[in-house]
Amino acid sequence: MAEMRMCQKCGRMKNADTQFYQYKNKEKTELCKDCLTMHIDNYNPETFLWLLEKMDVPYVPEEWNVLRDRAAAKNPILNGMSVFGKYLSKMKLKQWKDFGWADTEKIQARNAEQKKLQIEQQKQYDDELKQQLDSGEITDAEFKTMTSASAQHEDFLMNPERYLPNMDGGYSNPDNYIDESLIDLGGDLTQDDKVYLAMKWGRLYKPSEWVELEKKYNDMMNSFDIQDADTLNTLILICKTDLKMNQALDCSDFEGYQKLSKVSNDLRKSAKFTAAQNKEKKEDYVDSIGQLVSICEREGFIPRYVTDVPQDKVDKTLQDMNDYVKKLVTQDLGFGQQIEDALKKIQIQKEMEENADQNVELSDDDFADYYEDIEEQKKQDEEEAGDE
């Protein structure tokens, strides 16, 4: 049977093995896990450093942050126990079990020194690659492959032309494909136009992108019958997704293009933007009373009594059924007898049910007559069998 222990905060009896943390001397904490960690903010060390000191384990920010980010990736809403228990378990591993709270500053200083050394070594390595690139010993592709992200960012700020894609999917000087004589698509927008488009599409887009979004929006409005606000909102999302999808394709980001393409298809299906709703394909259909009235006024009304036109299939079927029933009743001589026999059977069945509902007591004579009938039937059966 599990040992029970009372929490000194909430006063509840809980399982000592599963609901309480354990000190290094094997004793259980005075408070249960819920109460002990209820005020922990996993992003604010001040809320849990006193607990690490109480449990006599060192605070290693790198280890804590790894566990925190891993837990946040599974569920962004963290509670006090999301990281604390896992961190205590990790401090029991061979790498950390011999360290206590008093070793916190020493460990952090050692890690800082190692990190500083790693940064210096990485910078030296990146500088060597940069020199080799400038001297022509390595290509742009080799440099971008081997150098670190921070070094690439620094090089991008200094030499942005290296990172602009050309028409062949590689990288070259932007003058190879940018035509300065191209018309500025957003140059004619007035201040009121920009305010309207910013309110509609957001302020993170360029004027030329606003124009492209507005064109896509108007084309869709002209192609589909869109009335409700929810569908309009979905249309705006489709336009934004298609814009990003085209940009990803232009940058040869095929993985991003595939993801955006799937999002675009899902949005279209949810809003039912299919060929069946296209106005051009619905011209042959009458989908409103107004259209029906218009056709009647244009073509004229059908006279009330018409006999020289083909009958409707439903009317023809009903007429055939009526003729069949009439012939069945008037011309089939045995049909009337069948009806009478059926009515008699129904009456007999009804009388039997009524008799079955009555509790009739049988006399001795009734039983005697029953057994005499059985004996008589048996003799008849034997005589018939002998004659055969």
Residue 335 belongs to a domain: no
Buried b / exposed e over 246-264, threshold 16 CB at 10 Å, is eebeeeebeeebeebeebb
Residue 98 belongs to a domain: yes
CA angle 49, 53, 55 (to 5 degrees): 115
Q: Is 34 exposed, middle or buried (0-12, 13-18, 19+ CB in 10 A)?
A: middle
Q: Quick check: 118 and 107 in contact, CB under 8 A?
A: no
pLDDT at 169 (0 to 100)? 44
Mean pLDDT by 10 residues, the chain (388 residues): 88 92 92 93 93 94 91 84 93 91 92 88 87 85 77 68 50 43 67 85 85 88 79 88 87 82 85 61 60 72 58 75 80 70 83 65 69 78 68
Phi-psi region of 285 (alpha: psi -120 to 50; beta: other; left: phi over 0): beta
| Residue ranges making up the domain that contains 170 | 112-174
149-158 helix and 104-134 helix, angle to the nearest 10 degrees? 50
pLDDT at 310 (0 to 100)? 58
Contacts of residue 132, defined as CB under 8 A and 6 or more positions apart, other chains included, come to: 138, 143
Report how far residue 111's alpha carbon sits from residue 101's, in angstroms, rounded to the nearest whole number: 16
Residue 14 belongs to a domain: yes
How many CA within 13 A on the CB side of residue 383?
6
pLDDT at 357 (0 to 100)? 56
Q: Are residues 211 and 270 in the same domain?
A: yes
Q: Are residues 136 and 88 in the same domain?
A: no
How many CA within 13 A on the CB side of residue 43?
6
Report how far residue 384's alpha carbon sits from residue 329's, in angstroms, rounded to the nearest whole number: 44
pTM of the shown model: 0.39
Residue 385 belongs to a domain: no
Residue 208 belongs to a domain: yes
Query: Phi and psi (nearest 5°) for 163?
Result: -105, 10
Three-class DSSP labels, the chain: CCCEEECCCCCCEEECCCCCCECCCCCECCCCHHHHCCCCCCCCHHHCHHHHHHHCCCCCHHHHHHHHHHHHHHCCCCCCCCCHHHHHHHCCCCCCCCCCHHHHHHHHHHHHHHHHHHHHHHHHHHHHHHHHHHCCCCCHHHHHHHCCHHHHHHHHHHCHHHHCECCCCCECCHHHCCCCCCCCCCCCCCHHHHHHHHHHHCCCCCHHHHHHHHHHHHHHHHHECCCCHHHHHHHHHHHHHHHHHHHHHHCCCHHHHHHHHHHHHHHHHHHCCCHHHEHHHCCCCCCCHHHHHHHHHHHCCCCCCCCCCCCCHHHHHHHHHHHHHHHHHHCCHHHHHHHHHHHHHHHHHHHHHHHHHCCCCCCHHHHHHHHHHHHHHHHHHHHHHHHC
Q: Quick check: 186 and 165 in contact, CB under 8 A?
A: no
Q: Are residues 200 and 271 in the same domain?
A: yes
Q: Are residues 161 and 221 in the same domain?
A: no
Q: Are residues 19 and 100 in the same domain?
A: yes
Q: Are residues 222 and 268 in the same domain?
A: yes
pLDDT at 49 (0 to 100)? 95
Q: Are residues 217 and 257 in the same domain?
A: yes
pLDDT at 173 (0 to 100)? 44
Q: Quick check: 16 and 32 in contact, CB under 8 A?
A: no
Q: Quick check: 6 and 12 in contact, CB under 8 A?
A: yes
Query: Phi and psi (nearest 5°) for 252?
Result: 65, 25
Q: Are residues 154 and 245 in the same domain?
A: no
State the total domains in the chain.
3
pLDDT at 227 (0 to 100)? 75
Residue 263 belongs to a domain: yes
Q: Are residues 95 and 166 in the same domain?
A: no
Q: Examine the fold and report which residue of 281, 305, 320 is the final residue of a domain before the chain moves on.
A: 281
Q: Examine the fold and report which residue of 74, 105, 136 is the final residue of a domain before the chain moves on.
A: 105
Residue 364 belongs to a domain: no
Report how far residue 236's alpha carbon sits from residue 224's, in angstroms, rounded to the nearest whole number: 14
Q: Are residues 94 and 41 in the same domain?
A: yes
Report how far residue 148's alpha carbon sits from residue 158's, in angstroms, rounded to the nearest whole number: 16
Return the closest-CA partner of residue 130 out of 155, 106, 102.
155
Q: Quick check: 166 and 177 in contact, CB under 8 A?
A: yes
Q: Are residues 98 and 12 in the same domain?
A: yes
Residue 127 belongs to a domain: yes
Q: Examine the fold and report which residue of 76, 105, 134 is the final residue of a domain before the chain moves on.
A: 105
Q: Are residues 21 and 98 in the same domain?
A: yes
